[in-house]
Amino acid sequence: MSQSDVKPWVIVSSLKQDTNPQDLQRISPQVSALVDEWHANGRIMLSGPFDNALSSMAVFEATEEEARAFYKKYEDICSGILTYELYQWDVMPILSVLSK
């Protein structure tokens, strides 16, 4: 993986209208474990909810292959409970700066 292949990525998620608290309680530990796995590999991810209490965002740097693999795992966990999208984000690579 060359540093030039690494780009900022964003996953934006929102609760579906029919999501119930039990669904969130069920997936929360799985999402936390996925993020912990990312961090355990020495990678940085910034994530958190928006103030509307319905949406959240995760920002991370990865190659396209790594981003798509992470997104697939996220999708496997959250399908049917959240709506979510993965975007490549053309922004200053702040996570690269923070990781040094």
Question: Is the pLDDT score of 85 beyond 90?
Answer: yes
List all residues 6 or more positions away from 94 whose beta carbon is below 8 Å from its beta carbon.
Answer: 8
Handedness of CA 16, 21, 23, 29 (dihedral sign): positive
Across 14-28, average pLDDT: 92
Q: Are strands 45-49 and 7-15 parallel, antiparallel or unpaired?
A: unpaired
Does position 46 have pLDDT exceeding 70, yes or no? Answer: yes
Total-model pTM: 0.85
pLDDT of residue 96: 55
Query: According to the model, what pLDDT value does residue 53 have?
Result: 85
| pLDDT of res. 86 | 98
pLDDT of residue 21: 87
